[in-house]
Structure 1
Amino acid sequence: MAKTNNPDWYAKWRHDAVHILQEQNARLKEQFRLNSWPRYDYDLAARQLTFSENGRAKVVADIQVVGTTSQNAGNWLWAWANSHWPADCIEEAQRARSFGEDHGIEELTSGYVEDDDLNGLGWELTAVTARICGAVGAYRPPRDEGGGLFLLYRDVRWVL
């Protein structure tokens, strides 16, 4: 866990959020066969992530950007602190920031968060955001190197 100043209850609450997200993602993976689709594409204008096969969409998810990790910078960058993202794509990250402000949680209100395990940190902060916002799951698109993009699922459904 990143070393920050947080309320006493937060460490357990955060830990529980990770387990809740792991269970949600396992259910989604099974229900929608998310590991089996050879292609994914995200469309920020539509705020959607589409899983497809042979040029045909199979599963679509309504998404929000939570944040990114960067090996070069050695940190997590909240989506709300990155002017690159459209405002309607970062609403849930903004909610996490507001929650952090209301409860004095430093890692939710600092634009950058450092940790030795950036992928773990990304998943943990995404899990916290998912819990705050009632998201149904989360996704980190595969990336060969350099860091990661962390997304929340607001909704996931089959394409008919």
Structure 2
Amino acid sequence: MTQHDHAVWEEAVLAARERARTRQALMVERFGLSGDVRYDWTLDDARIAWSRGGEVFLTGRITMIGSVSLTQGTWLWSWANDSLPPAAVGDMDRVRRFGEANGFPVLPWPGFDAHPGLVAEARMVAASVLDAEGLWADTVEDTQVHFLLHDLTPPAPAA
């Protein structure tokens, strides 16, 4: 593993943050992901769907980045979570390897204290490494789950 250079990490985070900010704003505007939007996701087939007024208007593929235990205050990368379906983990091992190759220890550590700033940085760098269209998060019981969004498309019209 390459030795950590914090200045290089900061540069990577800054570039990833700008990329994520631009893509996120474009995604929200392009697909109308604000207001009275509902969404449902499933880890089993790694899919998400957004609806308005009971009609699905957008679907996509998700990759689970990781999760925050709100009771323990810890982050766990999806690649380190054996309980997740492979479809939901996707290519997250590439993020771990990217961290090893570039001396970014937060990426190959299985978990860490979930400081909000560090979680945000890790999410954005993961989005950049895996060329995600956007980021999404949800809270289930005492766990905050974080996703990358890919392949966003309106559903095909009914025949």
TM-score, normalising length from structure 2?
Answer: 0.86
* Cα offset, 1:30, TM superposition: 0.3
Task: Give secondary structure in 2 for the equivalent of 1:9.
Answer: helix
Over alpha carbons, which structure has the higher Rg? 2
CA-based RMSD: 2.0
| Structure 1 unaligned blocks of 5 or more | none
* Cα offset, 1:56, TM superposition: 1.9
Task: Give secondary structure in 1 for the equivalent of 2:39.
Answer: strand
Q: Determine if the alignment matches structure 1 residue 159 to structure 2 residue 155.
A: yes
Deviating above 4 A after TM superposition, structure 1's stretches of 4 or more consecutive aligned residues are none
CA distance in 1, matches of 2:128, 2:47: 20
CA contact (8 A) 2:68 2:74 kept: yes
Written as runs of structure 1 = structure 2, the 5 A alignment for 1:88-99 is 88-99=87-98
Task: Give secondary structure in 2 for the equivalent of 1:129.
Answer: helix
CA distance in 2, matches of 1:33, 1:151: 19
The amino acid across from 2:47 in the alignment is Q
TM-score, normalising length from structure 1?
Answer: 0.85
* Cα offset, 1:67, TM superposition: 0.4
* Cα offset, 1:133, TM superposition: 1.2
CA distance in 2, matches of 1:87, 1:97: 16
CA distance in 2, matches of 1:145, 1:20: 31
Count of paired positions: 153
The residue aligned with 2:68 is 69
The residue aligned with 2:34 is 35
Change (3 A) 1:152 1:116: closer
The amino acid across from 2:4 in the alignment is N
The residue aligned with 2:129 is 132
CA contact (8 A) 1:37 1:51 kept: no
| Structure 2 unaligned blocks of 5 or more | none
CA contact (8 A) 1:123 1:150 kept: no
The amino acid across from 1:42 in the alignment is W
The residue aligned with 1:6 is 4
Change (3 A) 1:147 1:47: closer
Task: Give secondary structure in 2 for the equivalent of 1:83.
Answer: coil
